[in-house]
């Protein structure tokens, strides 16, 4: 889960909001974000490393202990994307969202668990020499990617056992509708997209990307 920006890309784009929106923002952010928040099925994220802004659109988030969240927006000189200006507040609260989005704070898996970004029902933890593993939460023990995916699938099948799948999807639609009444996701997506285009018009992001490419400054990712 990363934006995938190539900091060495020299591509020239005309300095207007419309051109920046069409060439840099819509394909990379706007369309992807809308595909996530309009998806009718249950969206599950299985995290095994660094993660960025699109994560807030998922219904369930599972992680390994080495997972961490770092958006990098103010470091890169860009605006919020992926619906994070609303989804992060909904998931972790305004105070933590301010830390992550405004002050560029990095949050590890345990911090995400504690602030409610990664949800859990009950905790049965075992302290090891390296970390705390929450066996009954949604932080899984350290393991290979293949094993992690299999464990998440097994957990999901267990959670869904005995439930009517059409009812689950109908309830998800109602939950999303309720959230949309508070903050229309299309409005959020469009607002963030235009703000991002305006940031690129200033030229600041490309200056920051160039500094990273030349290793004049170091990105925490």
Whether 219 contacts 106, CB under 8 Å? no
Count of Cβ atoms closer than 10 Å to residue 73 Cβ: 23
Judge contact between 206 and 212, C-beta under 8 A: no
Strand partners, 134: 125
- Report how far residue 7's alpha carbon sits from residue 213's, in angstroms, rounded to the nearest whole number: 6
Among 14, 81, 99, 159, the active-site one is 81
DSSP state, 77?
T
Residues 6+ apart with CB under 8 A from 144: none
- Specify whether 81 is catalytic: yes
Q: Which residues are catalytic?
A: 81
């Amino acid at each position: 889960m990363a934006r995938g920006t190539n900091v060495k890309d020299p591509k020239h784009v005309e300095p207007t909001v419309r051109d920046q929106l069409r060439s840099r923002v819509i394909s990379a952010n706007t369309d992807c974000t809308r595909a996530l928040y309009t998806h009718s099925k249950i969206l599950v994220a299985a995290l095994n490393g660094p993660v960025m802004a699109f994560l807030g659109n998922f219904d369930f988030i599972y992680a390994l202990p080495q997972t961490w969240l770092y958006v990098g927006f103010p470091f890169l000189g860009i605006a919020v994307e992926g619906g994070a200006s609303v989804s992060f507040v909904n998931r972790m609260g305004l105070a933590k969202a301010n830390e992550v989005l405004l002050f560029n704070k990095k949050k590890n898996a345990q911090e995400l668990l504690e602030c409610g970004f990664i949800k859990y029902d009950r905790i049965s933890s075992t302290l090891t020499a390296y970390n705390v593993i929450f066996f009954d939460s949604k932080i899984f023990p350290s393991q290979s990617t293949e094993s992690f995916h299999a464990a998440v699938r097994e957990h999901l099948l267990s959670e869904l056992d005995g439930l009517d799948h059409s009812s689950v999807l109908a309830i998800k639609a109602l939950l999303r509708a309720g959230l949309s009444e508070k903050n229309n996701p299309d409005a959020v997506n469009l607002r963030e997209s235009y703000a991002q285009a305006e940031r690129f018009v200033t030229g600041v992001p490309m200056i920051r990307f160039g500094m990273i490419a030349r290793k004049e400054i170091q990105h925490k990712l």
